[in-house]
Chain A
């Protein structure tokens, strides 16, 4: 009948074709690379460890997205700026003078603890200020409104800190102890990367304890479940939301320090790309779920560091490392199109997604 061709799910078919093309391209590229074998075993190990280090950083940032989304159903677009603000301030005011006075090399652990603490405090302050001014008054507004203010807050903080510390890249002084490599399981690994992975794991375990075992964590989970009922049970919703933001920002502050250790520099624009990637990680793992954020972060980190070498090179693309951000963005798009609920995480209703 006339209506019958309309009943076919055209979009479904198109999406399936798209999925097939991408899978074929990835497999083809991978096989071509494996046959060609342009990299040594050592290089592959480097890629993987770098991927894990970067991934654990993304995981820490992704926690912030996941917590806020879990509680407010809102994409906190400014989260990357919380990440940037802490370490920028700590670098300018603490790390650089410490390096100049020699304290950094004399007491590296104490120095890094102080730097991290300052970064966390600044990140939390920026997050609380943003929440108070740009998000809290709009909690009952339609969902696109806080997204727009979040974009506004993101641009505001970027350019505020740019004005504050200048638009140039600021070098981050890494203590001499952390330079160079150590031997682990027979392979040379950069010390800073090991530190990043260890710190990230400790932070994630601590966070899990905080959310699952403490009273405050329980309150946060209750608010995430149902704000009105939580309020009836005597939970201060505003306070719980603020604590949620602060927790996410604290994780971002630590992630900032790890970023500085890995890349040895900070700048005002550093929050944007890691922010988007961490958001991708949160969505990939299943937004709202903390283990999901950790897994998603690791996967994004690995894909990004292995991807260009593994399948883009096989496709014959010149300078594949230029396109590593494209991999992250493409993954974001694919996840949102094909599996918006992520790897872990309950299926969100259409309304939520």
Chain B
């Protein structure tokens, strides 16, 4: 009997509407227009266009995969329909915006946005161009699915890297210029974007390399992994040393601006290590983590500032242990009342603590002491043997020192008795207590050490900025750090750095992101929990647990403090 499969129109239309809704959303909330100012490939592609077309292209690719195998025409048709349907909401938006003044309601539906959507060709031709471009992209991306894997993967890699390099052209130009002079940088980049020809060259090179890697890579990797040098201790120390040297020389490679970014990344990483102990190791979801950051920063300001609020006029190095000690004390003080709380109630209470501290800092009540909304100014930078560490590339070493300190302590603790007590407590408090773990001291130690790291980060932060304001200590910081460790992988130490690079470093390099940072974080939190709860660089234990969780269902508990009710 002939197996007759009909083409699933409904599915294609539904996917198209979904993609259209996403594209329409990113347009009307202003993302497309904002990112349209960042060229990736000069005159060809802007970041705004990438964001606009991302959903239709992605869903065309996915729907091509849902077609019955062997029906190549179906896959292409599905891709075409999905992307064409996806273009309809945008077309309607363009028509509406040109006939009515939509801006009254939606301030971001600006003439500039319409211009971007219609490729600057006027309304009627622009609509057709938009639909044609969408359709072609849909077919191309569906066609991509039909390619055999050995072609598909390298091509995708090539595209990805071209986009990434294009995205960072501004910084790469600046770096190339300072190392090789203007000449080279002019060849590769035009203004702040890739030249089309170099983009093509990069695409071809990356594609070829990854094609070669695809054919031979696995074998090579295995051979290296099996070789005895790879497994020896010396080799691991060697890797360690190389990484260390790279970290030490980083400011010379990066220059002033990127050093500043690196400083922020490392400061957040210090906080990440601290929260990783509280949330990742001990399983206590703390949303008021910013409180200790604020306490550390304000202590530093009070102890060292030359302004009226300064009380001691200490040096940075003398003040820093005091800041950490005060933060630890605060951690214990705030920890005691919540010792008996678990899970989501703990999260809400800590959030309330964080907000209370923020409001108190802003209020008139404490204004005589810590300056209210005007903050505290004139915090000196640290000095080493008469040398003021003023510039970001000098200050980097202070931050690096703090970060190494935090990382080292976290690393040693994770394997120590205390670390394993935390993890036992995370899995099941009652069982842990029955095994003889003193819950009170174990929990308090987690809060204390976490708070200490946060205080350290705060103190360094205050000294870096030389002035602090209450607005720097909003709930957003807590959420930011939480996102970081979730993205990196809860309980994983390299994950903290990865998370910090991705969530603190990237948005600083792409400054337009600033406005939509929290929107992205929101999406990221949801997507990570849905698709990759173990994070980008999961810890080995957690990976195993999650595997068991997926196999046995919810009885084995990966992230929770307690089991299902």
Docked complex Cα distance between A196 and B416 (Å): 58
How many residues of chain B are within 8 Å of chain A by beta carbon?
Answer: 63
By the criterion CB–CB under 8 Å, are A152 and B565 in contact? Answer: no
User: Which one of A147, A276, A330 has the greatest number of beta carbons of chain B within 10 Å?
Assistant: A147
Docked complex Cα distance between A277 and B509 (Å): 37
By the criterion CB–CB under 8 Å, are B529 and A152 in contact? Answer: yes
By the criterion CB–CB under 8 Å, are B342 and A332 in contact? Answer: no
By the criterion CB–CB under 8 Å, are A145 and B529 in contact? Answer: yes
Name the A residues within 8 Å of B349 (CB-CB).
Answer: 332-333, 336-337
Name the A residues within 8 Å of B285 (CB-CB).
Answer: 144, 147
Name the B residues within 8 Å of A322 (CB-CB).
Answer: 359, 362-365
Q: Which residues of A, 152-167, contact B by the 8 Å Cβ criterion?
A: 152-160, 162-166
User: B29 on the interface (CB 8 Å rule)?
Assistant: yes
Name the B residues within 8 Å of A144 (CB-CB).
Answer: 285, 343-344, 347, 559-561
User: B562 on the interface (CB 8 Å rule)?
Assistant: yes
Tell me whether chain B's interface is mostly helix, strand or loop, or mixed: helix
By the criterion CB–CB under 8 Å, are A11 and B339 in contact? Answer: yes
* A142 partner, pick from B287, B523, B558, beta carbons under 8 A: B558
User: A141 on the interface (CB 8 Å rule)?
Assistant: yes
By the criterion CB–CB under 8 Å, are A152 and B521 in contact? Answer: yes
C-beta contact mask, B330-367 vs A, less than 8 Å → 1, else 0? 00000011111111110111011101100110111100
User: B440 on the interface (CB 8 Å rule)?
Assistant: yes
Asked whether A159 and B554 contact (CB < 8 A) given A18-B337, A75-B344, A337-B337, the answer is no
Name the B residues within 8 Å of A134 (CB-CB).
Answer: 526, 530
By the criterion CB–CB under 8 Å, are B348 and A336 in contact? Answer: yes
* A164 partner, pick from B28, B338, B563, beta carbons under 8 A: B28
Name the A residues within 8 Å of B557 (CB-CB).
Answer: 142
By the criterion CB–CB under 8 Å, are A160 and B29 in contact? Answer: yes
User: A148 on the interface (CB 8 Å rule)?
Assistant: yes
Name the B residues within 8 Å of A164 (CB-CB).
Answer: 28-29, 106, 108
Q: Which residues of B, 127-144, contact A by the 8 Å Cβ criterion?
A: none
User: B524 on the interface (CB 8 Å rule)?
Assistant: yes
By the criterion CB–CB under 8 Å, are A152 and B524 in contact? Answer: yes
Binds B, one of A23-31, A108-116, A249-257, A345-353: A345-353
Docked complex Cα distance between A11 and B521 (Å): 37
By the criterion CB–CB under 8 Å, are B363 and A323 in contact? Answer: yes
Name the A residues within 8 Å of B554 (CB-CB).
Answer: 140-142
By the criterion CB–CB under 8 Å, are A160 and B25 in contact? Answer: yes
Q: Which residue of A lies closest to B30 (CB)?
A: A163
Docked complex Cα distance between A340 and B348 (Å): 12
Name the A residues within 8 Å of B363 (CB-CB).
Answer: 319, 322-323
C-beta contact mask, B487-526 vs A, less than 8 Å → 1, else 0? 0000000000000000000000000000110110111111
* A143 partner, pick from B353, B521, B562, beta carbons under 8 A: B562
Name the A residues within 8 Å of B351 (CB-CB).
Answer: 276
By the criterion CB–CB under 8 Å, are A156 and B519 in contact? Answer: yes
Name the A residues within 8 Å of B533 (CB-CB).
Answer: 141, 145
By the criterion CB–CB under 8 Å, are B565 and A351 in contact? Answer: yes
By the criterion CB–CB under 8 Å, are A142 and B518 in contact? Answer: no
Q: How far is the CB of B40 from chain A (nearest CB, A)?
A: 22
By the criterion CB–CB under 8 Å, are B479 and A279 in contact? Answer: no
**Residues of B in contact with A (beta carbons under 8 Å apart):** 25, 28-31, 105-108, 285, 287, 336-345, 347-349, 351-353, 355-356, 359-360, 362-365, 440, 479, 482, 486, 515-516, 518-519, 521-526, 529-530, 533, 553-554, 557-565
22 contacts between A and B (CB under 8 A): A10-B440, A142-B564, A143-B344, A144-B343, A144-B559, A145-B559, A147-B343, A155-B518, A155-B522, A156-B522, A156-B523, A158-B522, A162-B29, A163-B29, A163-B30, A166-B107, A332-B348, A333-B356, A337-B337, A351-B562, A352-B565, A353-B345
**Residues of A in contact with B (beta carbons under 8 Å apart):** 10-11, 14-15, 18, 73-75, 92-93, 133-134, 137-138, 140-149, 151-160, 162-166, 276, 279, 317-319, 322-323, 325-326, 329-330, 332-333, 336-337, 340, 350-353
